[in-house]
């Protein structure tokens, strides 16, 4: 890409400037100008996302997870919207206390307990790590201690469940809707605070983007890396904790509820716990790598991340376990093994694809991929100050199969979670439908950015690797 004055070009290697650093301000991350379509999408999402979450959870609570029955009930006049609303549990002091304790505990683990896992776990990268260079040229340092937070939290959970009995392991399920209101309060509070902060005391004013459109800025965020103090990073905290640490606990709570209601935990529930548990542990094991993903490198912190991490993720990513409490499914051994294999193969593709790119980029191509030296396309881009950078796009290993085979693996795993629930209802399939839309959109968004960044080099790359997700199809 040569969108900026070539005359002053100075040449540099990509290695010292990780993951897209130095791209022009004009093409970095989210838009500077808002078109009508983007604004309409933002307004749609701001209005309907909270309703979607409520609708899903309410339909499990009141209609045994049927998405159609509430609509039919209202259309036939058997129920009014007010009846449904009146039957919905309200915010309770108990839920508020649980939620405050939960978030406070996670904040304390995040800021007060420096990572010790990297000292004894071989291969694990934790402790203080650097993120990618931001558009304004800042390199933030992060305390990577998510794995430790996850281990401590889960150890306490099990000690409680099997020894101390301070609270019931079904506590999350039993307070699920009152907790939804708490999660919403936090989600809106943190997004609003982030917006106000970006006007009054931004962490790095040069990394703020103001479009002038209040709704768009609220949703997509203004500040790139809002922080309180030196270490409390909003993106890292809210992306990983409290939502993703909670994900596995929520699933345990569902399993405990099945045990309480039916005297046993079904193999489908065990599969959901195991497969999603691997995904969550993978996330924390690779938290340092996560600093180089699109969420941290390109997205600003607004409602999309703030509310999304507090509400959307813990409530909608865990729908399979919730469904299985209402509809316990005992899979045949063949089906259970088939689903387990699909989930594990998906996970393997997801992990190996991400690992191959990480290794390739870290070593500047001086590594082995599938036992051979990787093949790649040399590419260059020019930053806003006219500096020319060099980078490489790998075309071997999984990156030679498709341009986003990591997403394909992720989608296979997502499908496996859903299949554990059988075919009686559509609700548990929301996850694969949503992930397909999310990752396809993300793929197109990322390719648009890469095409602007690398220009003709990107064209050479797409000619060498013509498909995005599934070879021969898309």
DSSP letters for 228-277: ETTTEEHHHHHHHTTHHHHHHHHHHHHHHHHHHHHSS--HHHHHHHHHHH
Binding mask 163-202 for ligand NDP (x = CB under 6 A): ----------------------------------------
Pick the closer one to ligand NDP by CB: 202 or 243.
243
Does the footprint of ligand NDP cover residue 419 (CB under 6 A)?
no
Q: Which stretch binds ligand NDP (CB under 6 A): 3-11, 48-56, 101-109, 354-362?
A: 354-362
Q: Which stretch binds ligand NDP (CB under 6 A): 95-103, 246-254, 391-399, 422-430?
A: 391-399
Pick the closer one to ligand NDP by CB: 84 or 369.
369
Q: Out of 57, 65, 236, 393, name the contact with ligand NDP by CB under 6 A.
A: 393
Q: Are the C-beta atoms of residues 103 and 183 closer than 8 Å to each other? A: no
Site for ligand NDP in 16-75 (CB under 6 A): 19-20
CA distance 125 to 416: 29
DSSP letters for 337-397: HHHHHHHHHHHHHHHHHHHHHHHHHHTTT-S-BTTBPPPEEEEEEE-TTS-EEEEEEE-ST
Pick the closer one to ligand NDP by CB: 218 or 360.
360
Does the footprint of ligand NDP cover residue 404 (CB under 6 A)?
yes
CA distances from 152 to 97, 113, 263, 315, 436 (A): 20, 11, 28, 23, 33
Pick the closer one to ligand NDP by CB: 31 or 228.
31
Q: Count residues contacting ligand NDP (CB under 6 A)?
A: 20
Question: How far apart are CB 399 and ligand NDP at their closest, in Å?
Answer: 4
Report the sign of the C-alpha dihedral through residues 329, 273, 181, 303, in that order: negative
Pick the closer one to ligand NDP by CB: 194 or 450.
450
Q: Which stretch binds ligand NDP (CB under 6 A): 45-53, 56-64, 90-98, 388-396?
A: 388-396
Site for ligand NDP in 276-295 (CB under 6 A): 293-294
Q: Which stretch binds ligand NDP (CB under 6 A): 92-100, 162-170, 237-245, 392-400?
A: 392-400
Does the footprint of ligand NDP cover residue 311 (CB under 6 A)?
no
Question: How far apart are CB 2 and ligand NDP at their closest, in Å?
Answer: 16
Longest dimension (CA), the chain: 74
Question: How far apart are CB 12 and ligand NDP at their closest, in Å?
Answer: 14
Q: Are the C-beta atoms of residues 126 and 148 closer than 8 Å to each other? A: yes
CA distance 293 to 19: 8
Sheet strands (E) in 89-207 = 127-133, 139-144
325's tokens: 């409490």
CA distance 213 to 138: 26
Does the footprint of ligand NDP cover residue 249 (CB under 6 A)?
no
Binding site residues, ligand NDP, CB under 6 A = 19-20, 293-294, 350, 354, 357, 360, 391, 393-394, 399, 404, 406-407, 410, 442, 446, 450, 453
């Amino acid at each position: 890409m040569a969108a900026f004055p070539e005359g002053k070009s100075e040449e540099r290697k990509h290695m010292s400037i990780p993951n897209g650093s130095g791209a022009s301000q004009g093409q970095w991350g989210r838009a500077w100008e808002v078109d009508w379509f983007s604004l309409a999408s933002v307004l749609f999402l701001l209005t309907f996302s909270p309703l979607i979450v409520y609708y899903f959870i309410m339909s499990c609570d009141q209609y045994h997870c049927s998405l159609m029955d509430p609509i039919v009930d209202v259309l036939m006049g058997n129920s009014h919207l007010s009846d449904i609303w009146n039957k919905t549990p309200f915010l309770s002091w108990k839920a508020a206390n649980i939620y405050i304790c939960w978030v406070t505990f996670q904040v304390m683990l995040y800021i007060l307990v420096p990572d010790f896992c990297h000292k004894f776990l071989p291969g694990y990268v934790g402790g203080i790590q650097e993120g990618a260079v931001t558009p304004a040229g800042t390199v933030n340092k992060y305390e990577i201690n998510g794995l430790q937070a996850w281990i401590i939290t889960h150890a306490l959970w099990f000690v409680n469940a099997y020894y101390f009995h301070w609270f019931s392991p079904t506590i999350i399920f039993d307070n699920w809707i009152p907790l939804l209101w708490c999660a919403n309060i936090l989600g809106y509070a943190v997004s609003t605070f982030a917006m106000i902060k970006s006007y009054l005391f931004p962490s790095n004013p040069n990394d703020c983007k103001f479009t002038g459109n209040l709704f768009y800025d609220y949703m997509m965020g203004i500040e790139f890396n809002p922080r309180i103090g030196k270490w409390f990073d909003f993106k890292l905290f809210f992306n990983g904790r409290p939502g993703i640490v909670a994900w596995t606990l929520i699933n345990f709570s569902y399993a405990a509820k099945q045990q309480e209601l039916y005297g046993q935990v079904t193999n489908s529930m065990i599969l959901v716990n195991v497969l999603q548990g691997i995904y969550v542990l993978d996330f924390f094991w690779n938290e340092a790598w996560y600093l180089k993903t699109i969420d941290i490198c390109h997205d600003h912190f607004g409602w999309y991340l703030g509310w999304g991490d507090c509400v959307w993720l813990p409530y909608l990513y865990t729908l399979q376990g919730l469904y299985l409490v209402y509809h316990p499914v005992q899979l045949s051994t063949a089906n259970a093994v088939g689903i387990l294999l699909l989930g594990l193969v998906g996970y393997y593709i997801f992990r190996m694809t991400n690992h191959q790119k990480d290794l390739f980029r870290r070593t500047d191509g001086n590594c082995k991929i599938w036992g051979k030296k990787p093949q790649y396309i040399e590419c260059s881009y020019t930053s806003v100050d006219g500096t020319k950078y060099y980078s490489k796009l790998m075309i071997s290993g999984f990156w030679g199969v498709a341009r986003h085979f990591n997403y394909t693996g992720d989608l296979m795993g997502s499908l496996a979670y859903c299949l554990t629930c059988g075919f009686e209802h559509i609700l548990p399939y929301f996850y694969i439908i949503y992930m397909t839309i999310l990752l396809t959109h993300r793929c197109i968004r990322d390719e648009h950015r890469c095409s602007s960044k690398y220009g003709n080099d990107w064209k050479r790359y797409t000619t060498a690797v013509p498909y995005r997700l599934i070879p021969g199809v898309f």
